[in-house]
Amino acid sequence: MAIVISACANNATLPENQIMVQTPISFSMAEISKPTYTPSPTMTLPPTLTPTATPEPIAQAEIVVDTPTSEYVAPVYEVDAPVVYTGGKYILVDISEQHMYVYEGDALVYSFVSSTGMNNATRVGNFSVLNKIPNAYGATWDLWMPNWLGIYWAGSLQNGIHALPILSNGVTLWSGYLGVPISYGCVVLGTYEAQLLYDWAEVGTPVEIQW
């Protein structure tokens, strides 16, 4: 004989030789609505600072990770006052050729394929090397620009000549795009070429950028 255990909490005494049989309790799943949570206003805490390597003080916002284009028109000619320089070194950047020519006196020392800014972002004019930084940091995109030669200010930012930029994960950008405009103002060289130029150039070396 099947005996069904009652789910009731009833301890009533049954007559001898009798067994209480009850219909099993049927359970069903109730649909419980997820309560709506309305966050209460909380105090905004200052962000937690994560220790990182101290970057050089150059805020470069001209770097982007966009697909470059070669469609652009001649920019307006602008001139920055050059640093006083009495040496015989001279850097010429030709935007139409996407090429750099490096002279010492009348002698051509180096000839490099280069990349200037998209949409005429690189100014044309007479400038000079303002500073040299072995590895400048671009905080906006968390990347590094090796062999930095600053050449002019664009508002609160400085544009310059540097090697192919490197992301914090070690990936080198634009290595397949040298020879076409790829930056938002800087003049970009190959890694090896930028090292040669960095070692050769001095603060005050004239830089001419022409169309």
Each domain of the chain, given as residue ranges in start order, spans: 89-210
pLDDT reported for residue 26: 37
109-138 pLDDT, tens digit each: 999 999 999 999 999 999 999 999 999 998
> How confident is residue 35, by pLDDT bands cut at 50, 70 and 90?
very low
158 or 68, which is more confident: 158
pLDDT reported for residue 62: 44
10 Å Cβ neighbour count for 85?
15
DSSP string, the chain: -------S---PPPPTT-----PPPP--PPP-PPPP--PPP-PPPPPPPPP-PPPPS----------------PPPB---PPPP--SSEEEEEETTTTEEEEEETTEEEEEEE-B-BGGG-SPBEEEE--EEEEEEEETTTTEEEEEEEEEEEETTEEEEEEEPPEETTSPBP-TT-TTS--BSS-EEE-HHHHHHHHHH--TT-EEEEE-
Range of weakest confidence among 4-8, 18-22, 106-110: 4-8
pLDDT reported for residue 84: 56
89-210 topology per CATH = L,D-transpeptidase catalytic domain-like (2.40.440)
Mean pLDDT taken over the chain: 74
Task: List Cβ neighbours of 154 (8 Å cut-off, separation of 6 or more).
Answer: 62, 123, 185
Answer yes or no: is pLDDT of 29 > 90.
no
10 Å Cβ neighbour count for 43?
4
Tokens of 18: 């009798």
> How confident is residue 86, by pLDDT bands cut at 50, 70 and 90?
low
Burial call 152-163: b when 16+ CB within 10 Å, e when fewer:
bebeebbbbbbb
pLDDT reported for residue 174: 93
Burial grade of 5 (CB within 10 A; 0-12, 13-18, 19 or more): exposed
In the block, which residue shows the tokens 């090697």? 163
When computed from its CA atoms, the radius of gyration of the chain, rounded to whole angstroms, is 35
pLDDT reported for residue 156: 86
Report, as an integer, the average pLDDT of 178-204: 97
Report, as an integer, the average pLDDT of 45-72: 41
pLDDT reported for residue 139: 84
> How confident is residue 176, by pLDDT bands cut at 50, 70 and 90?
very high
Tally the residues of the chain.
211
> How confident is residue 85, by pLDDT bands cut at 50, 70 and 90?
low
pTM of the predicted model as reported, rounded to 2 decimal places: 0.63
